[in-house]
Structure 1
Amino acid sequence: MSPPSLIDAHSNLSGIAPVALSYELFPPRSPAAAETLWTTIRELEATEPDYVSVTYGASGSNRDTAVELINRLLLETTLRPLAHLTCVGNTAGELAEIIGELLDHGVRGILALRGDLPKDGTLPASGSLRYAQDLIELIRRVEQRRSALLCAGKIAVGVAAYPTRHPESPSEGHDVEVLLAKQRSGADFAITQVFFHAHQYADLVSRARRAGVTIPIIPGVMPLTSLRRVKRLSELAGVEPAPELMERLAASNTEAEARGIGVRATVDLANAALDAGAPGIHLYTFNEHAHALDVLDKLALPRPARPGSRLHAVARRQEMAS
């Protein structure tokens, strides 16, 4: 009989793990939007999240502004950016160049996405990558060629997961098989698309684990404070929000009342995911900090105790440099 593992002998290794906290941002479309975004960034930075994701337009339509935002986050803040990258419409050579550029800027996390197909029905250019799985494998190849440069931090590759059936998928079972294929190609974690019902995250995790998916599946949660936005996101996700929530938002008399209703519903959704074992919470901010922070204030997240504030350290360095 093999001797017991020394690791197994340390029972304290199975203690409660800290819950990851992250936000999603998107590049600004105007100078006014940029000013608002940077106010949001500073407010969110104070909560010391583990990372912030930066979206990337279909076929890289906002590539330059996305890279600019990522670079500023790295240079001017304590935030760690997770760069979105889509592959539809781009060749392996083009994407390898973009990946290299992100790594040169200091990015160490990439969310590998297929991206939306052209709305006019035209087929992607010949030679372009078709699936997120292909993009994951390409990222790993670029990483391998740069392994000596990345000794201080390998690349974390994230992917999308779907609590409800993807609009183009034949079934929820097929979605899980796709997630498993992404894991086999080298994905480290997944972030879910928005969902509106408490059981949907737990059901996804249960299906995924039965199929052999072992990577962390982080619930993506949207502050449910805007009736218009909830309707729009429900159309994109192909799932109906809870009718009682829609009725209460529609019947609210003031923005403050709607905000309170939506924050409570969002907190309930996030807590249900945490009760189901979620390893983190990813908040879709829509570049607005107030509602996201309202949700965070009401969530009792077991966050890691930091020996010293990174924000204080950065402020001190800036003070000394001035």
Structure 2
Amino acid sequence: MTGPFADHPISVSFELFPPKTDKGEKSLARNVDRLATAAPDYFSVTYGAGGSTRDRTARVVDMVRRRTGQPVAHHLTCVGASRKEIDAQAARLLEGGITRIVALRGDLPDGQTLAADGYADAAELVAGLRRVGDFDISVAAYPEVHPEAASPQADLDHLKRKIDAGANRAITQYTFDTDVILRFIDRARAGGISAPIVPGIMPVANFAGLKAFSAKCGASVPDWVARMFEGLDDAPDTRAMVATSVATEQCRRLMAEGVSEFHFYTLNRPEVTLAICRALGLSPEIPAETAA
């Protein structure tokens, strides 16, 4: 890496989600080309509740591999399938050259429960994947505690179960309060978790959407963040600059504390993520801007 942080090299990864339409997939392909210029360690592609995006996830994973030549992590969840079905899907991924997995319990659709013959949680899923083959497995971590956890300690204990079952690393839910992330890492280390803990970074593309999503997943949005984006709903350029500043400052603070890996929830939009990477010393290609 060159630039102002050349003495503190970092690695990044980019999360994508499967678009709902063929037109969206074509647009994503162009954005993937742009994101690839930042040379991420890998991309990851999410997976809908109950496997609802299974086909599109597979297509996006294949598209990203073909266009970039870089590793792609396929999300897998416990929802909507038996152990046998999940194991068979994992085996097919391995046969197809997909060796990275993000293993999650997954969100249960309203009124749905996990299959009686399925994996009960992500720790069991990780153990099952280890039996299938030599995957590189990431799991989720929650600095602000998973909404369904009985307590912060119970949540941390569950993370340790996932790591002990064979996960290679934990990727955190996004958290705007950097102190919360740092305290969580300290607690994890004190609790015997030595695997890498990679902060998840959320560039703010749409603040109203962010608030709605955060309420569902248990991530808090501090008042200072709300104030920074207040009145910018119809000012996308300024909003992008503010979003870049917020995320860059968080990454720099984490880097000062020794963090060197970041996972960006790109929302399939490259602009702010690439600007953050540039500010952190990476050198992605930024296309020339045309006058209005």
Q: CA RMSD in A?
A: 1.8
Q: CA deviation at 1:17?
A: 7.1
Q: CA deviation at 1:281?
A: 0.8
Question: Following superposition of structure 1 onto structure 2, how do residues 91-240 of structure 1 map, counting pairs within 5 Å?
Answer: 91-120=82-111, 122-143=112-133, 154-240=134-220
Question: Following superposition of structure 1 onto structure 2, how do residues 1-322 of structure 1 map, counting pairs within 5 Å?
Answer: 18-120=9-111, 122-143=112-133, 154-252=134-232, 254-300=235-281
The alignment of Structure 1 onto Structure 2 pairs a total of residues equal to 277
* Distance across 2 between alignment mates of 1:17 and 1:103: 34
What one-letter code is carried by the residue in structure 2 that aligns with 1:142?
V
Q: 1:140 aligns to what SS in structure 2?
A: helix
TM-score of the two chains, using structure 1 as the length reference: 0.81
Q: CA deviation at 1:51?
A: 0.2
* Distance across 1 between alignment mates of 2:122 and 2:83: 12
Contact 1:71 1:105 in 2 (8 A): no
Unaligned runs of 5+ in 2: 1-6, 285-292
In structure 1, what is the equivalent of residue 4 of structure 2? none
Q: 1:277 aligns to what SS in structure 2?
A: coil
Q: CA deviation at 1:214?
A: 0.3
Q: CA deviation at 1:301?
A: 5.6
* Distance across 1 between alignment mates of 2:115 and 2:166: 26
Spell out, residue by residue over 1:162-183, the C-alpha distance to the aligned partner (whole angstroms, 9 max, x if none).
Answer: 1101100122211111111111
Q: 1:251 aligns to what SS in structure 2?
A: coil
Q: Percent identity?
A: 31
Contact 1:217 1:279 in 2 (8 A): no
**CA 1:40 to 1:302, structure 2 compared with 1: closer, same or farther past 3 Å?**
closer
Spell out, residue by residue over 1:117-175, the C-alpha distance to the aligned partner (whole angstroms, 9 max, x if none).
Answer: 2322x3223211110011111111111xxxxxxxxxx4211100111011001222111
Higher relative contact order (CA 8 A, sep 6+): 2
Q: 1:37 aligns to what SS in structure 2?
A: helix
Contact 1:192 1:220 in 2 (8 A): yes
What one-letter code is carried by the residue in structure 1 that aligns with 2:121?
Y
What one-letter code is carried by the residue in structure 2 that aligns with 1:219?
P
Spell out, residue by residue over 1:11-65, the C-alpha distance to the aligned partner (whole angstroms, 9 max, x if none).
Answer: xxxxx77422100011121122112101110001111110001111111111111
Moved more, 242-251 or 107-116: 242-251
* Distance across 2 between alignment mates of 1:265 and 1:22: 18
What one-letter code is carried by the residue in structure 2 that aligns with 1:169?
A
* Distance across 1 between alignment mates of 2:110 and 2:19: 23
Q: CA deviation at 1:196?
A: 1.4
Question: Which stretches of structure 1, 4 residues or more, deviate above 6 A after TM superposition?
Answer: none
Q: CA deviation at 1:302?
A: 11
* Distance across 2 between alignment mates of 1:278 and 1:229: 28
Contact 1:99 1:142 in 2 (8 A): yes
In structure 1, what is the equivalent of residue 289 of structure 2? none
What one-letter code is carried by the residue in structure 1 that aligns with 2:268?
N
* Distance across 1 between alignment mates of 2:155 and 2:281: 31
* Distance across 2 between alignment mates of 1:195 and 1:233: 13
Contact 1:191 1:219 in 2 (8 A): yes
**Greater C-alpha radius of gyration:** 1
**CA 1:155 to 1:240, structure 2 compared with 1: closer, same or farther past 3 Å?**
closer
Q: 1:21 aligns to what SS in structure 2?
A: strand
Contact 2:169 2:197 in 1 (8 A): yes
Q: 1:117 aligns to what SS in structure 2?
A: coil
* Distance across 2 between alignment mates of 1:301 and 1:174: 38
* Distance across 2 between alignment mates of 1:228 and 1:274: 29
